[in-house]
Amino acid sequence: MNTPTMSTRLLLTLMVLWPSFLMAGLMEMFVFGLLDPSDVDFFGAAHDFPRTGIYTMAFFVFWAIVSCASWLTLILAMPTLKARLASRETSIDQAHDQQNAPHALH
């Protein structure tokens, strides 16, 4: 079995991180559109974090959660993706062989 090249790994990583980054931003807008960060208590205790600190921490937590979900989806889909790519490569190779095969003269 072929191991992915660095460019393939980079592409897969970007396929996970970029959409999860966008979704974390949307989650942040949705949550803090409904909730004031200064009203939130952490584990039942009051906090003295600035609002921007809470926004930042929440964004990274949201990004991590959505990234984990995206990685899990990619891992679960990987056998199907590999099978489809293998069948596509086989059909391309067969078409290429048919094009380059010498034609029989009648």
Can you give the pLDDT at residue 99? 67
Residues 6+ apart with CB under 8 A from 51: 37, 38
Can you give the pLDDT at residue 89? 65
pLDDT at residue 3 greater than cutoff 70: no
Query: What are the structure tokens assigned to 28, written together?
Result: 């942040």
List the chain domain ranges: 6-94
pLDDT tens-digit map of 7-18: 888 888 898 999
Can you give the pLDDT at residue 61? 96
Whole-prediction pTM: 0.68
Q: What is the mean pLDDT of residues 66-87?
A: 86
pLDDT tens-digit map of 24-70: 999 999 999 998 887 777 777 667 788 888 899 999 999 999 999 99
Neighbours of 7 (CB within 10 A): 8
Q: What is the mean pLDDT of residues 70-99?
A: 76
CA 35/CA 27 separation, integer angstroms: 12
